[in-house]
Structure 1
Amino acid sequence: MESIWKLSHLLEPASLTLIVTAVFVTFASASRALNHGKEMERNLDFSEASITLDRSQALMIPLASSCSLLIMFYLFSSVSHLVTTFTAVASASALFFCLSPYVAYFKNLLGLVDPFVSRCCSKSFTRSQGILLLICVGTVVCWLISGHWLLNNILGICICIAFVSHVRLPNVKICALLLVCLFIYDIFWVFFSERFFGANVMVSVATQKASNPVHTVADSLSLPGLQMITKKLELPVKLVFPRNLLGGVVPGHNSMDYMMLGLGDMAIPGMLLALVLCFDHRKSKENSLDLTSKGPKYVWYAVTGYAVGLVAALAAGILSQSPQPALLYLVPSTLGPVIVLSWSRNELTELWEGPKQMPNDKAHSMEA
C-alpha cells in the first residue's frame, strides 16, 4: 500500500510534465530528422552536415562519453567557463536549426520578399535568416543572464533535435550495438562508479552547475546590474522541472529541488525512432498501392515503448529513492517492440541490414 502511495507522485505536475515533454521531444526529433533527410535528398550540400554512424563509431560513443564524464567529474571547475561558452554557441546553432523551417514556411505563406544580405563560402544568407540569428543569440543571452529553467529546457530540446537530425543510424544492427553499449555505460556509471571513484560520477556531473562567464566578465569590469546576472548555470544538457511546478511538492523534497532527465535519454531513443520512422516512410511509399500491407507503423510501437520505459524509470527512482539509469528501462522498451514486431512481419532482415544502396542513386541525385 505504501508503494502505491509513493507511485502516486508520478501524477505530480512536474512528473507528468517531464513525461509528456520527453515523449514529445523524442518524437519531434525523429520527425525533424526525417524532414532533414528529405532536404538532403533535394540538396546535396546538406549531406556534408550529416553523419551516419558505422560500427566503430557506435563503439566509440560510450568510450568517448565515459572520458567526458571523468573530465567533467575531476576538472569541471577548471573548464567550466569553456564548457559554458561552447554550450552557448551550440545552443544558438541548434535553436537556429530548429526554427529555420518555420521561418521559411511563414515567409512562403505570406509571400514575403527575402533578399540576400551576404554570400560567404558559397552559402547564401538572407535577411530573415539574419533576423532569426539575432533572435537565437538574444535567447541564449537571456539564458546566460537569468539561468531560468524554462530557457534551459528550450535550448536543451533544440540541441536534442539537432543532434538526432545530424547523427544518423543506418540500420537496426548498428542501432542495437549502440543501444546495448550505452545500456551498459549507463548502468555502470550510475550503479558502480562509486566503488571505483568514491562518488556517483553520473549523478555528480548531472547535478553540478557551471560558472557563468557573463557574470565573471561583468564582475571584473564592475558593470552595473551585476546582481541580476546569475553566478551559476544549469547547462542545457538535461531537462529540469521544479518539483513545486504548479504548486505540487513531493513530500520529503525541498521545494526548490528539480526533476531531471538527461538529453541522452531522449536523443539516443530518438535516433531509433528516426530510423524506424524513415523505414515506415519508405515502406509506405513502396506499398502505397497495396492496401493489404498497411498496418500499425513501427514508430508508434517505439513511442509507446519509450513512454512505458520512461514511466518505469521514474517509478523505480521513486520506489528506490535513488537515481536510476534511464537507459536501463528505455533500451528494452523501445528496441524490444521494434525487433519483435519486425520479426513477426518478416521484415527483421530488412531493418537489420538497412536499405541497399543502389549504384545509380548518386547519379540520379545529381540529375535531380
Structure 2
Amino acid sequence: MLAWAQTACYAALVFLTIASNVVLLPVNFQLIVSATSIVYIGSTLSLKLKQHRDATGEKNEEAMTKEDAYMFPIIGSGMLFGLYLLFKFFDKDIVNLLLTAYFALIGTYSLTEAFSPVVRAIAFSDNERHFKRSFELPYFGKQTIDLTPSWCTTGVFAAGFAAAWFQTKHFVLNNIFGISLSIKGIESLSLGSYKVGAILLCGLFFYDIFWVFGTDVMVTVATKFDGPIKLLFPRAFATATEKAKFSILGLGDIVIPGIFVALLLRFDAHRAKATTITEPFPRPYFHINILFYVLGLVATVVVMLVFNAAQPALLYLVPACLGSSLVTAIVRGELKELLAYSEEDEDDKEKKGVDDKKKTEEPKKDK
C-alpha cells in the first residue's frame, strides 16, 4: 500500500488537475502544492534505487559524476540556445510538431510509470505476475519495463492521453505529462553523492540567472514550445475574443531540486540503515529540505509579484535546499558525514565487506 503522505500528494495533484479546468484556483497555490507534491512523490519512489543496490550490489547506471555536474549547465545552455535558434529561424509549427511527437512517446512511458502504483493500489494487488524487458531510452539511458496487469492498464490510458494531447495541446493534458515526466526523472536519476549535488545546484544557479535575466532565450523557448517542459496554471480562461492566460513553472525547477531532495532522503535511509522502501525511519534532512523547497517557491512567487517580472526559480531554490541541508548537518553535528556521503562509495564498501567475509570463510572450509 502507498504511504498516506504519498497518497495525499497524488490526491492533491489529481484534484488540482481536474479543478483547474473548471474554476480559476489561485495560481500561486497551484504552483506550490503541485511542485511540492511532485518532489515528495518522486523522492519517496527514489528509495527504489537504494533498495535495488542493497539487494543486488549493482551500482546505479544513472548516477551523475563530478564531470557530469560541471558540464551539465554548459550542455543545458547549448540545448536551450539550440531550441531558441530553431524557433527563431524555422517555422514554429514544424519545430513543435517534431518535438511534441517525441514527447508524446516519452510522456506515455513516464505517465505509465508514474501512475501505475496508484492503479495497482486501487484495483490490483502487490502479487501481480511480472514480465520484464530492458531497453535504451534517449536521455534516460537503460530502462527496464516491468509488465504487470496494472502497468498495462495504465499504459492504455496513457496512450489515450498522449493522442489527445498531441491533437489538442490542452493545458490539463500538458500538465499530466509534465507531472509524470518530473516524477519519473526524480525517481530514476541519482546524483551519486552530496558533493556532486552541490556542484550541480551551484552551476544551475548561475545558469538560470543568466538565461532569465541576461537574455530573452529562456522566456522565448518556454512560451513558444508547446511540449510538456513546463506546468501551466490558468490565470484567465479563454473567451470568444481572447486566448487563455497562464503562469508557467519549468520542469527544471522541479526536477533539479527534486533529485537533490531525493538524495537527502536516501542519506536519511543510509544513516538509519533502512533496507526496504516501506520500512519507517527518521527523515530529518528530507523533511527540512522539503520545507525549505516550499519556502524557496514562496520567495520566488513573492518577488515575482513585487517586481511583476519572470523570476529564475533556482535563484531562490538552490540557496534554500543547499543551505538548509548544510545548516541541518551543522546543528546535528553530521557535516563531515554529509559531505562525505557517496552512494558509489557505499556500494564499494558493501561489496568489499562481502568479499572480505568470503575470504575469511574460505580458509575455515579448507581446514
Which residue does the alignment assign to 1:336? 323
SS of 2:273's equivalent? helix
Q: Structure 1 pair 344/136, CA: closer, same or farther in 2 (3 Å)?
A: same
In the superposition, relative to structure 1, how do residues 158 and 313 fare at CA in structure 2: closer, same or farther (>3 Å)? same
- State the partner residue of 1:244: 236
Using the size of structure 2 for normalisation, the TM-score is 0.75
Q: How many residues align?
A: 309
**Residue of structure 1 in register with 2:76 after alignment:** 65
1:263 is aligned, of 237, 240, 251, to 251
Superposed, 1:1-368 pairs within 5 Å as 13-39=26-52, 41-42=54-55, 50-76=61-87, 77=92, 79-105=95-121, 109=125, 114=129, 125-193=147-215, 200-209=216-225, 234-244=226-236, 256-285=244-273, 297-355=284-342, 356-357=345-346, 359=348, 361-362=350-351
Check whether the contact 1:41–1:365 (CA below 8 A) recurs between aligned residues.
no
Whether the 8 Å contact between 1:51 and 1:167 is mirrored in structure 2 is yes
Structure 2 vs 1, CA of residues 160 and 131 (structure 1 numbering), >3 Å: closer, same or farther? Answer: same
1:119 and 1:341 map into 2 onto residues whose CA distance is: 42
| Runs of 5+ consecutive residues of structure 1 not aligned to the other structure | 1-10, 194-199, 210-233, 248-253, 287-293
Q: Secondary structure in 2 aligned to 1:52? A: coil
8 A Cα contact 2:198 2:322, kept in partner:
yes
Aligned to 1:196: none
Contact 1:171 1:354 in 2 (8 A): yes
CA distance in 2, matches of 1:344, 1:127: 47
Equivalent residue letter for 1:276: L
Residues in 2 aligned to 1:296 and 1:134: alpha-carbon distance in whole angstroms:
36
Residue of structure 2 equivalent to 1:251: none
Whole-angstrom CA distance in 1 between matches of 2:244 and 2:314: 26
1:173 Cα deviation from its structure 2 partner: 1.0
Indicate the structure whose relative CO is greater, using CA pairs within 8 Å and at least 6 residues apart. Answer: 1
Change in CA separation of 1:361 and 1:83 when aligned onto 2, cut-off 3 Å: same
Residue matched to 2:15? none
Paired with 2:49 and 2:97, the residues of 1 have a C-alpha distance of 32
Q: Is the 8 Å Cα contact of residues 242 and 255 (structure 1) preserved in structure 2?
A: no
**Partner Cα distance (2:113, 2:148) in 1:** 15
1:86 and 1:110, CA in 2 relative to 1: closer, same or farther beyond 3 A?
A: closer
CA shift at 1:361, angstroms? 2.9
> Per-residue displacement from partner, 1:287-329 (whole Å, max 9, x unpaired)?
xxxxxxx977111111111111111111111111111111001
Cα distance in 1, alignment partners of residues 338 and 178 from structure 2: 30
Q: Which runs of 5+ in 2 are unaligned?
A: 1-23, 136-143, 275-280, 356-367
Shift in Å, 1:24: 1.0
Deviation at 1:129, TM superposition (A): 3.7
Counterpart-to-counterpart distance in 1, 2:25 and 2:147: 46
The CA RMSD over aligned residues, in Å, is: 3.1
- Contact persistence 1:243–1:257 (CA under 8 A): yes
Q: CA deviation at 1:201?
A: 0.5
Distance (whole Å) between structure 1 residues aligned to residue 354 and residue 162 of structure 2: 38
Aligned-residue sequence identity (percent) comes to: 32
Decide whether the 8 Å contact of 2:230 with 2:250 is kept in 1: yes
Distance in 1, matches of 2:113 and 2:145, equals 15
TM-score, length basis structure 1: 0.75
